[in-house]
Structure 1
């Protein structure tokens, strides 16, 4: 995961440095800059403790959820634009469906965790086109591949499905016996790429995929070890922190209903943070720039 994140960010930053020399700024006048508004339909997935295998590339297509977003983009240079975005979507996971063909499948099936998490994200990214356009928006290329990277803040609220079929907020329960509940407001590093297609004079469509490297291991409320029973002070905390786990004999003798031994692993120790991925189709409307005629005196 670290290599993918590091290499992708390095590529974007390198292209940005190459694409914005002083000559570009001089040749690309303000009269050629323009703004656009975008509306997106997204598909969201996540990588974490409740995916089929503990790998960055692992995801369960059945857990894909739909999201939406709105953005405003400003083209500054022949290759470089800046974009502000606001999006909403949901990620989900369930051990009963995700424990497939993995050495830890038995463990994960017995852990029996499930979650859904609605994410509201605000982002700011730099977009680097791999094909430049030194002209105005009317002469932009028909197809343009691009890469992007930036920063984002997001609000999330993981919920679990209890035995009565009700969704319960998990963060306040401190299901792993935390002294302080993890924050619902977090930061992430979005990066990825896409391709943009010119439809007509004012409309573009784009297909984009972007990863979000977060700094929390609790998008799924699962990241550490089972809590001591004495620290689970409510029926809901006791259920999601311990009782949801199935009974299992043999190699997993610690798993005995509501008597899972505190301090035994609950999350994947090698996966320090969770990720989520956004794949979307965006329709962009270019706001026709106002042409200022020179003043004569």
Structure 2
């Protein structure tokens, strides 16, 4: 997946640079235009609380909604820039994702962790159309596939349900002993969005789009699970921190013998979490004002 990310971003950048040099001089400002869009999306995540210890593993039942708004400016026959604002949720639950009959999932089943995380994202991406349009917006192609890549800032806040079903913020608890070490993870982060989609021309003013985009984050704490358990239960203060950092694991009926928890592995600390956004977008084109020629 890391190689795919690097290859995709490199390809998008190379295509944008080449196309920009070749066509920018031939694409007059009067053919450029803006559009605004609204999208209804499905949101999923790849991380520690998934059915398999693989970045390709996620539960369709864990899909949650995401709502987004965008502003796009068309610069050249193939090139557009887009800024976006979106808000959505990711979720995971060991009790539902891990099969207690699967030898590869018994560890996560015993861990018994759950989370949900509401993510607010602001993004800026470059879009490269695979079909060019050298005309104005009225003569744009009916069907256009495209790829995109860029950068995003996100704000997140992982929570988990306690024994009473109440959701508790996890980051302040330091469930892996962060309060003792002072190494608390941040609730702000940078991600690299990339992916592709298709646009379909409904009429002169509206486009309908379908898009899928991956977000490569640089955090392993979207789900509050990353490294090891604390060495001793007493390291965690009594209350929610001890419940989520230690007790919740022992709440699972012990079917597989004693669970060696003190200092043991809690998550895959060598892999960052990802999230994916798939959805439908409606774009409205803000028709540019065309100046009438002056006659003398």
- The TM-score, its normalising length taken from structure 1, stands at 0.93
1:239-254 matches, within 5 Å, as 239-245=243-249, 246=252, 248=254, 250=256, 253-254=258-259
Aligned partners of 2:2, 2:295: CA distance in 1, in Å? 58
Task: Name the SS for the 2:156 alignment partner.
Answer: strand
CA contact (8 A) 2:33 2:285 kept: yes
The match for 2:85 is: 86
The match for 1:34 is: 33
Aligned-pair CA distance for 1:247? 5.0
Aligned-pair CA distance for 1:15? 1.7
The match for 1:112 is: 112
Moved more, 239-248 or 196-205: 239-248
Aligned partners of 1:73, 1:103: CA distance in 2, in Å? 48
1:103–1:18 Cα change, 3 Å: farther
1:124-139 matches, within 5 Å, as 124-139=124-139
Task: Name the SS for the 2:157 alignment partner.
Answer: strand
1:162 counterpart = 2:162: yes
1:168-207 matches, within 5 Å, as 168-178=168-178, 179-207=182-210
1:102–1:191 Cα change, 3 Å: farther
Aligned-pair CA distance for 1:296? 6.2
The match for 2:220 is: 217
CA contact (8 A) 1:52 1:102 kept: no
Task: Name the SS for the 2:277 alignment partner.
Answer: strand
**Segments of 4+ moved more than 6 angstroms:** none
Aligned partners of 1:56, 1:50: CA distance in 2, in Å? 11
Aligned-pair CA distance for 1:102? 5.2
Task: Name the SS for the 1:20 alignment partner.
Answer: helix
The match for 1:51 is: 50
Aligned-pair CA distance for 1:269? 4.1
Number of aligned residues: 289
CA contact (8 A) 1:34 1:287 kept: yes
Aligned-pair CA distance for 1:194? 0.2
Aligned-pair CA distance for 1:26? 1.3
- The TM-score, its normalising length taken from structure 2, stands at 0.94
Aligned-pair CA distance for 1:5? 1.0
The match for 2:10 is: 10
Task: Name the SS for the 2:134 alignment partner.
Answer: coil
Aligned-pair CA distance for 1:114? 0.2
Aligned-pair CA distance for 1:295? 5.3
- When the two chains are superposed, the root-mean-square deviation of aligned CA atoms in Å is 1.5
The match for 1:290 is: 289
Unaligned 5+ runs, structure 2: none
1:62–1:249 Cα change, 3 Å: closer
Task: Name the SS for the 2:34 alignment partner.
Answer: strand
